Structure 1
Amino acid sequence: MRKTLAAAVFRVLSGVSQKPPSRVLVASCNFSNDATFEIKKCELHRLEEGPPVTTVLTREDGLKYYKMMQSIRRMELKADQLYKQKFIRGFCHLCDGQEACCVGLEAGINPTDHVITSYRAHGLCYVRGISARGILAELTGRRGGCAKGKGGSMHMYAKNFYGGNGIVGAQGPLGVGIALACKYKGTNEVCLTLYGDGAANQGQIAEAHNMAALWKLPCIFICENNFYGMGTSVERAAANTEYYKRGNCIPGLRVDGMDVLCVREATKFAVDFCRSGKGPILMELQTYRYHGHSMSDPGISYRTREEIQNVREKRDPIMLLKNRMVNNNLASVEELKEIDVSVRKEIDDAAQFAITDPEPNLEELGHHIYSSNTPFLVRGTNQWIQFKSLS
């Protein structure tokens, strides 16, 4: 005791800096390893039972989910800034507010499972393993982007992640094709096929439902219902707003998409359903986006600022997880603030890379046409120029 006190006095008198008080507090806390939480009961369609209404969150998973959701939130806000600075051109669709969806979905599947989605893809791209650098550099069209700067915001790819599709609803039939490949190869893998409430009205989505049900494919259809399509509320665009029932003969779940734990447990339930050979299942994730539909949409011409602020104050997914963790001794406020600081630095570094990394050379125009093939010649910008295509 005397030695410890003497050492402390020596450090103070000699000017040796001590650790910041917050770090000392974090280190000295005796946190719980896990806690049990009640989650909202899912509404069911053609199912006798659904996901559990209680779940366990470990401290390790909670910290991981928190950092991932904060990273996605910060990344989307940075993308908004880069777009307004004209580093990002063309289309850009942000998902801030919907972080619990992508993080909860990824927590409920295996890395070997497959995911395909719409052009609002940045968050799913991140949870599938692409760094913030790779995503932001893709948005700015740089060589270090996840699609080598060729895809931009609407066409991003990763291992077992198939975009990012620019055509509304096009990912529906493609996801069924991936699920068909899973069944054909006997891999016991599933495909998550995501689309929005606007795309739910596309005819190809109904065709995809029919084919998946007919062939009992391991396809989990996921409608991210953020209550507004392209500037239009769901009530004005859809005669049936119960999207989890839209599959008709396909079983469905309506899930609280603002609760990462609720999304995780519903996803696990749906995955088990598919892996057991029962065919497809449909999940409706009720969520909310804070930005407009795209960067050309201010997002307040068809809804009030008060509505958006009310969701931020009462249902924000990051806030909900943070309160659960702090109130149940899974983390401290200081510890989560440290994560916030590290995330901000990571995203700032990624943004700096995204505006300084060089753009692709013109010679790369024909690269990556096929995933694996011997090099072949591709006509360039005019008929007298040819480029060698590399996989």
Structure 2
Amino acid sequence: MDDRLRLDLHRMMVLIRTFEGAILREYHADKKPAFDIGAGAIPGEMHLSAGQEPAAAGICAHLTAGDAVTATHRPHHFAIAHGVDLRAMTAEIFGRVGGLGRGRGGHMHLFDPATHFSCSGIIAEGCPPALGQALAFRRRGTDRIAVAVTGEGAANQGAFHESLNLAALWRLPVVFVVEDNDWGISVPRSASTCVTSNADRAAGYGMPGERVEDNSVEAVYEAAGRAVERARAGHGPSLIEVHTLRLWGHFEGDAQAYRSDLEGVPGRDPIPTYEAALRDRGLLDDDEIEQARKAASERVEDAIAFARAGAEPDPATARDHVFAP
């Protein structure tokens, strides 16, 4: 890694956190005095990725727009890191016609053909489509790859295991990424999963598996480099598990009474941790951190303004875009 890349990773994490902070603000702005999940400019559930920025930044730094990413119900960090248009993504979250899905999908159903990005509210749903994309890439004779992202809870789903098996059998160019934030909604991983690391499961399917500790963006980048290189070279899939951190609730409105670790969570925030490391290297100072935050804020607030100014879908068009022409 060179110093320019380190600064790029920092800026990406700042952009993601700034976006999630703005969505948090906008989501709660009109849900008072009593929280009503169906009220406001952004109704419905909202799953934010604050604390999980290292996984997205470190992995997507190796990808091109031609590569495919399938993400989870907590998708914004991977969408941003993979280059999904911020305005169109924000408009979709607000349910506006200028959004990626013309305002019909919302934040858990982002779909962007331009960057081959998709996500779903169904647990482990992104794994099988990633295999299809990887197979198509290989049959076309390209070196493009697919990245399938799941949570540690989804690693117990049949679709996850079936996908690992088929990817290994057909030596498909796929990188499986498991984000382990310790909690499957309100269930600790120790109560749901028989292994301490999902990376250990890779051996059962004849592929390399690696677990990245400490929510380190540089360690994620290094592990992803090995997996992406293997996939592009035609050597088949790999599995990476990133031990990351969910700073906020499973969804907005989650009281998190089940969490015993909340008191110490802010001290494990990966962004100030990485900023301290970059300061020690002489790569960052207060002015440069402020510049990164200002640049991120300008982009995000522009996207928020674009979304708010957009029109809502006309109810008369409810049956449009249901089937392909």
Q: Give 1:361's match in structure 2, choosing from 309, 314, 318.
A: 314
Taking the aligned partners of 2:90 and 2:115, their CA distance within structure 1 comes to: 20
Please give the per-residue CA displacement for 1:188-233, whole angstroms capped at 9, x wherever unaligned. Answer: 2111111000111111111111111111111111111111111111
Find the structure with the greater CA-based Rg.
1
Q: Does 1:258 align with 2:211?
A: no
1:342 and 1:162 mapped to 2: Cα distance?
A: 24
Deviations 1:39-74 (A, max 9, x none): xxxxxxxxxxxxxxxxx3323x33332222111111
Output the aligned Cα RMSD.
1.9
Tell me the distance in 2 between the aligned counterparts of 1:343 and 1:310: 23
Structure 2 portions without partners, runs of 5+: 31-39
Could you tell me how far apart the structure 1 residues matched to 2:323 and 2:274 are? 42
CA shift digits 1:56-115 (9 cap, x unpaired): 3323x3333222211111111221222222221112111000111111111122332111
SS of alignment partner, residue 265 of structure 2: helix
Please state if 1:92 is matched with 2:46: yes
Q: Check the 8 A contact 1:253/1:283 in 2, yes or no.
A: yes
CA distance in 1, matches of 2:80, 2:152: 22
Q: Where does residue 220 of structure 1 map in the other structure?
A: 175
Q: Percent identity?
A: 31
5 Å matches for 1:329-344?
A: 329-344=282-297
CA deviation after TM superposition for structure 1 residue 282, in Å: 0.7
- Flag the 1:198–1:187 CA change in 2: closer, same or farther, 3 A: same
The reply on whether 1:80 has 2:24 as its aligned counterpart is yes
1:271 is matched with 228
Residue identity in the other structure for 2:46 = C
TM-score by length of 2: 0.89
Shift in CA distance, 342/188, structure 1 to aligned 2, threshold 3 Å: closer
Once the two structures are TM-superposed, the CA of residue 276 in structure 1 deviates from its matched residue by: 2.3
Residue 66 (str. 1) matches residue 66 (str. 2): no
Q: 2:48·2:248 contact (CA, 8 Å) conserved in 1?
A: yes
Secondary structure at the counterpart of residue 154 of structure 1: coil
Q: Find out whether 1:188 has 2:143 as its counterpart.
A: yes
2:60 paired with 1:115: no
Tell me the equivalent position of 2:96. Answer: 142
Alignment-derived partner of residue 350 in structure 1: 303
What is the aligned partner in structure 2 of residue 202 from structure 1? 157
Change (3 A) 1:239 1:156: same
Do the aligned partners of 2:84 and 2:115 also contact (CA within 8 Å) in 1? no
Q: What's the TM-score once normalised by structure 1's chain length?
A: 0.75
Stretch of structure 1 that moved more, 316-325 or 139-148: 316-325
Conserved in 1, the CA contact under 8 Å of 2:66 and 2:116?
Answer: no
- The Cα offsets for residues 289-329 of structure 1, whole Å up to 9 and x where unpaired, read as 11111124233433332131332xxxx22223322322222
Alpha-carbon distance in 1 for matches of 2:96, 2:280: 43
**Matched residues, number:** 312
Divergent runs of 4+, >4 A: 366-371
Question: What stretches of structure 1 of length at least 5 have no aligned partner?
Answer: 1-55, 374-391
